[in-house]
Structure 1
């Protein structure tokens, strides 16, 4: 497979989706030209400019860092089509109107670069019909490329070829999307709505049908179809509001228009209440009212019986709640089907009809059952795909229950289950996943890009993942290696709950480093997200309540010793960070020789939230950064470089991406940022090997660190006085922030004094201990442990 080199991307259509695709390309260091119609008046690129400004206000943010917007240029179809010749990939993302798309293709085709890939981001139109709008000689470089919203965060991209699409090009595009944009790819057949939307929208239609049939309320159904069954917190009807009720209706209409032969076609229509909301302009979150609306601080929900909104609430029937807590899926599904309560019948009916639908259509919409399950996990954030859930609940038993319901007219369709359902014990096995079209088990793709994913997402029933050889472990960490990657690069994984750092983790990390120095060439700190949520507050809180402050002093000293051991190990230690790296977790990463960061890395020294300051070396690392930057500046004043760190720590600021982590000083511009988190460990192992081969050596302790001292503390305190007088911070916030300033500035010493690193460590530890002894900090710790939320006292 030849490599696909994409230096620049063009996105045609600056709607919300097109603009966000452009933003994510910019996140991946790919410059973009964003096209739209010329503005009727004023700046010719006004439509695209407005779209670009608009996505900068979205939450969650499409840009991983605000400065990424500068890598997107705007253009219009009248004046700038010649610029398409600069782009190796052109993504069309205009409205879902076949005639509009075909008209645009005719206009842009003459300007495309020879060999450029042209792809449509349609959510369900026929790719073959769209390809007919391209010149014959360009059809081999044409395909569907369906991103899911929001493109930065949703991993799924469906790739849809036509009969003319060049297979090698498609493989190369899949590899590029996987590594460069961090996407998870499903190859879909060219059928209406492809895989994820076909199943996902049918699931919504099944919910709509059974909600009405059983007389349940919308908020009641959302309680049932959220985390309790492994679905997102937005569940069904809140998700519809987020997506947009007009968008949902459009997708339903597409199914109605294009799937006339579908046995469930009678259900492919928007209910009258949905049409009524759309007619009134209540389209969901984007219009601030839909199925739900916010009145003051109260969330209200549409009540069809009242024909008006009411305060949302609802509850799950106790028996149903107990059933949903069962650990055995077999028992869970059997009891739901047998229980007479409408909520239980709703859940069984919904699952039954989705299972039934997927089985009947598997051969037409997807290559294997694996593709369906992964599409639903990656595109709709289901914890399990439909075939996984069915197989886990007992394939044969559930198949029998579905057949009985179909035969007795209880299912949404009377079409029988396919014969293959009763010939198998399931669809996933170590040998592969079932293809209904080919009637055989098929293994995963052998594309080389997937060799970079050492622990890819697996479906239930697949072969277990290789765990590597354990070299040593205790209750907090496991030191291990993968001989198939590099037997002399060790991996140390934190195994505590949420990867919190307590005594057993610190002891384990120190032992792992000592062993690596003797037996290995390098060490990678890696575990699935989160990287680490900070110190074990349970241990800290218990020691505070017992008044064991000498013990806490020793604990903090050991924390500092562990951080310093990471930094000064005789082998390079690489931190592979994904998800939250907070407090002590952030400090461990800051002390590593190098960091490999997933784009979605949320790093921060957030101790102020529990009335504390960083004391595992985080303050010292910021002081070192300020010293190094001051040495290169005229005058050598360290305080300008302390000021930003002070604000970051005092406000408990955490990065919202790896790019922001670098900007905030938690990581370095020399660190690696990987967009596909599944490639994180692979890259980190190779980075550790590269460091080892380059004669890496640990940094020496700095004996002459210039600190800001009393003047720096006083300047920070001036900012705090203004905030306190304005009512923005409490008296205890003031105390905590002053302690942070004291640690960052090296304590109450003359400004510009030179001290050793251990001096700063001692100052931050002393400030940390004094805060721990305060009643208000102890209250904050207790409140966080009880509620999971910070207390402002």
Structure 2
């Protein structure tokens, strides 16, 4: 096998097939998306005079799949242009074209006979080095290819993506009994590094790992709900973040997934397991069958367990009463144990507070969790080789904060097992063996060391981790902190690279982080090869400390505010012009000041899922940390020097990005918007982001880094400002913006055009920074801006005033 994957064929253009094709295109692969030839014409096709032989008709299903992926929300593509990597076709005319593909993925309907028939045809055209796989969510991998040749079976495995494939981290690999282990190794590495997935190896059992446990957990939740007489909204209050689960909890998750999909998965497990108790466990309640009959499937049909209704210009979410089958206003669950869980710090403390509570919410949570943990341990040997695969599958596939075994450790294995025994439960042999060996946890962790996990032999084994997965927490446990204060730390990444890590609340930029930037510049300049700016929090940085700025403004501490903004600007300039390379590593939200901490870097190594933007206008401000200047530089740097080109269109692009608070939908989109340069790198798997940023920084250092030199910036001056102001006037006349929006826009225009100077004037960066700071301080003193800031802090939403 050549072990190179550049071109992929996806067979089946339904929701999953098209979305898988989209993600493959996102990461730069060439994709063929094929589906069946339609059996008959649509009315629209007949009206156009088309026939069943017309190519547009024959490719209709593939074309419709791609169209749906283009329109999907959340977006399937990183950027619209990525769809151009997908070539459409059909099984009759184009199946032979899979011969030049390195990987063929089957994603047709979940029907064993149909899959077997398709694989029979695929084998005729498959390249001798190609991998072939099925995206099945539960059909036996072995059964699908039992009649295929040994060579085909050697290259065949299950590759189960979770929906939506772009965003869901889990990829389950399911080898068959004849799959070449080398191919499993190759596909695991490809899934992690190229596709950005968290890959787990699952055994060929009904619905594999995540859907098997997740579906069981949902069904026992439905049983416990009836026992404790709770409503769907009350269950969701318990089974969300308080239990370390997503905000969508139970019933909102079912609505998002679709009740038809849930029913299919549950039915598949029930039909394929052998023990009678387990068959009974996967029988869905009658009310779900009734909802299926009513087509109350959830989000895709507009109603399920919840329904959004509009009344008097506002909307309300109603909850389904499963006794009356009528929708009612949602109720707030009153529970001491739930309140205690919400107040607790950390997932472990939250779960302990909840499941050991004595009220109905606590007893309900215990009932659900107990059954899920016992079921998982019961099925451990059947579904996976180790507990790490199971925990990761549930974290990556269902967005649990802790996997089942991590959860068991969190609530105390000994304590919980004693309670289970007292309640008459049979403890799985796997768990009894753990306790009999004198161990009290499934994981063993020593500060600074790789975690170990329990194996059935009674011993612990180190968790296998990719070498590219840097853990800042572990480095800090190893004593690798060089400097730190309340908001940031400098951490030794090894090989001469230092990391500037933000750890203030929400990584908001305040005086402590600005101070640490100064320290970092001096420290790296004197003792290190390169600097990486990054962290491993939920978001890179959501901006400056808004509360601090509002308080200073309300107290009219203008000198203090001026000093803070000036220090932020100068910190960014020091990063930009220091004598060692700087690489910034943004991910998730990098907004406002977060974006401004990326702009000074020599290079940005961004997570593919990076949402970058200058959003200050949402709180009545403009960027204050050099963001306007940097967007202007980025906008005009592509204009050839010495060419008599008007800069106005380029300046307008920068103005629109800031004035409209445009936020990128991906790192690739950030490149299109100009927040990132085409030379900046993109890492698809966020677990490898710091490693890639470190390598990029060290490569700059090893290449003989030359510090950048300041250059004067050409501005369009007052005449260019007049053009932009005409556009703002049009927006105001049309009623799209308020008077205060106009005031903000005029301040922004003054900065971007260089103020009161003629067109073509060359100005230094500091001149633009001074204009920016002046505008920022002027706006922060405006009552309407302060109202916007207060509203954002209170509600988390922008105010239009």
TM-score (normalised: structure 1) = 0.94
2:469 corresponding residue in structure 1 = 453
Q: Would you say 1:697 and 2:706 are equivalent positions?
A: yes
Deviation at 1:338? Answer: 6.3
CA distance in 2, matches of 1:183, 1:11: 18
2:299 corresponds, among 280, 285, 289, to 285
Q: Would you say 1:425 and 2:443 are equivalent positions?
A: no
Deviations 1:265-293 (A, max 9, x none): 31211211111111122211111111112
- Per the alignment, in what secondary structure is the counterpart of residue 577 of structure 1? coil
CA distance in 2, matches of 1:373, 1:277: 32
Which moves more between the two structures, 336-345 or 559-568? 336-345
TM-aligned CA distance change 1:19 to 1:316, over 3 Å: farther
Deviations 1:561-589 (A, max 9, x none): 01111110110111011111111110110
2:580 corresponding residue in structure 1 = 571
TM-aligned CA distance change 1:337 to 1:788, over 3 Å: closer
TM-aligned CA distance change 1:432 to 1:626, over 3 Å: closer
CA distance in 1, matches of 2:173, 2:390: 13
The within-5 A match list for 1:208-247 is 208-247=222-261
Q: Would you say 1:373 and 2:387 are equivalent positions?
A: no
1:151 corresponding residue in structure 2 = 165
CA distance in 1, matches of 2:355, 2:679: 56
1:473 corresponding residue in structure 2 = 484
Deviation at 1:688? Answer: 0.9
- Per the alignment, in what secondary structure is the counterpart of residue 293 of structure 1? strand
Say whether the 8 Å CA contact 1:220–1:316 is kept in structure 2: no
- Per the alignment, in what secondary structure is the counterpart of residue 5 of structure 2? coil
Deviations 1:63-85 (A, max 9, x none): 11111111111110000011101
Deviations 1:204-250 (A, max 9, x none): 01101111222211111111111122111111111111111000000
2:755 corresponding residue in structure 1 = 747
Deviations 1:695-750 (A, max 9, x none): 222221113x2111122222222222222222221111111122112111111322
CA distance in 1, matches of 2:292, 2:642: 60
The within-5 A match list for 1:511-660 is 511-529=519-537, 530-631=539-640, 635-660=644-669
Which moves more between the two structures, 346-355 or 495-504? 495-504
Deviation at 1:337? Answer: 5.9
2:774 corresponding residue in structure 1 = 766
1:78 corresponds, among 88, 92, 102, to 92
Say whether the 8 Å CA contact 1:627–1:707 is kept in structure 2: no
Say whether the 8 Å CA contact 1:567–1:591 is kept in structure 2: yes
Deviations 1:383-411 (A, max 9, x none): 1111111112111111111122235xxxx
TM-aligned CA distance change 1:61 to 1:626, over 3 Å: closer
Deviation at 1:439? Answer: 5.2
TM-aligned CA distance change 1:384 to 1:262, over 3 Å: farther
TM-aligned CA distance change 1:314 to 1:470, over 3 Å: closer
Q: Would you say 1:510 and 2:511 are equivalent positions?
A: no
Deviation at 1:136? Answer: 2.0
Say whether the 8 Å CA contact 2:210–2:390 is kept in structure 1: yes
1:396 corresponding residue in structure 2 = 414
1:738 corresponding residue in structure 2 = 746
Q: Would you say 1:160 and 2:174 are equivalent positions?
A: yes
CA distance in 1, matches of 2:582, 2:475: 28
- Per the alignment, in what secondary structure is the counterpart of residue 295 of structure 2? coil
- Per the alignment, in what secondary structure is the counterpart of residue 53 of structure 1? helix
TM-aligned CA distance change 1:158 to 1:439, over 3 Å: farther
Q: Would you say 1:726 and 2:734 are equivalent positions?
A: yes
Which moves more between the two structures, 6-15 or 425-434? 425-434
Deviation at 1:787? Answer: 2.3
Say whether the 8 Å CA contact 2:507–2:540 is kept in structure 1: yes
- Per the alignment, in what secondary structure is the counterpart of residue 585 of structure 2? strand
Q: Would you say 1:185 and 2:199 are equivalent positions?
A: yes
TM-aligned CA distance change 1:326 to 1:482, over 3 Å: closer
TM-aligned CA distance change 1:377 to 1:262, over 3 Å: farther
Deviations 1:154-177 (A, max 9, x none): 111111111211111110111011
Say whether the 8 Å CA contact 2:421–2:427 is kept in structure 1: no
Which moves more between the two structures, 737-746 or 98-107? 737-746
TM-aligned CA distance change 1:618 to 1:330, over 3 Å: closer
How many equivalent pairs are there?
Answer: 774
Deviation at 1:514? Answer: 1.3
Which moves more between the two structures, 776-785 or 320-329? 320-329
TM-aligned CA distance change 1:396 to 1:318, over 3 Å: closer
Q: Would you say 1:669 and 2:678 are equivalent positions?
A: yes
Say whether the 8 Å CA contact 1:105–1:133 is kept in structure 2: no
CA distance in 2, matches of 1:332, 1:32: 45
2:360 corresponding residue in structure 1 = 342
CA distance in 1, matches of 2:475, 2:529: 28
Say whether the 8 Å CA contact 1:330–1:394 is kept in structure 2: no
Say whether the 8 Å CA contact 1:4–1:176 is kept in structure 2: no
2:129 corresponds, among 90, 108, 115, to 115
Deviation at 1:203? Answer: 0.4
- Per the alignment, in what secondary structure is the counterpart of residue 48 of structure 1? helix
TM-aligned CA distance change 1:324 to 1:764, over 3 Å: closer
1:410 corresponding residue in structure 2 = none
Query: Which runs of no fewer than 5 residues in structure 2 stay unpaired?
Result: 42-49, 51-55, 446-450
CA distance in 2, matches of 1:327, 1:627: 48
- Per the alignment, in what secondary structure is the counterpart of residue 382 of structure 1? coil
Deviations 1:670-695 (A, max 9, x none): 01100011111111111111101112
2:339 corresponds, among 321, 325, 336, to 321
Deviations 1:565-620 (A, max 9, x none): 11101101110111111111101101100010010111111110111111211111
- Give me the CA root mean square deviation: 2.1
CA distance in 2, matches of 1:128, 1:329: 39
TM-aligned CA distance change 1:624 to 1:418, over 3 Å: closer
Deviation at 1:506? Answer: 0.8
Which moves more between the two structures, 331-340 or 744-753? 331-340
- Per the alignment, in what secondary structure is the counterpart of residue 34 of structure 2? strand
Query: Which runs of no fewer than 5 residues in structure 1 stay unpaired?
Result: 408-412
Deviations 1:496-515 (A, max 9, x none): 11111111111110111111
CA distance in 1, matches of 2:415, 2:234: 29
1:18 corresponding residue in structure 2 = 17
CA distance in 2, matches of 1:572, 1:326: 42
CA distance in 2, matches of 1:791, 1:164: 61
Say whether the 8 Å CA contact 2:150–2:178 is kept in structure 1: no
Which moves more between the two structures, 99-108 or 533-542? 533-542
Deviation at 1:54? Answer: 1.0
TM-score (normalised: structure 2) = 0.93
TM-aligned CA distance change 1:122 to 1:300, over 3 Å: same
1:443 corresponding residue in structure 2 = 462
Which moves more between the two structures, 220-229 or 254-263? 254-263
2:454 corresponding residue in structure 1 = 434
Say whether the 8 Å CA contact 2:488–2:501 is kept in structure 1: yes
Deviation at 1:121? Answer: 0.7
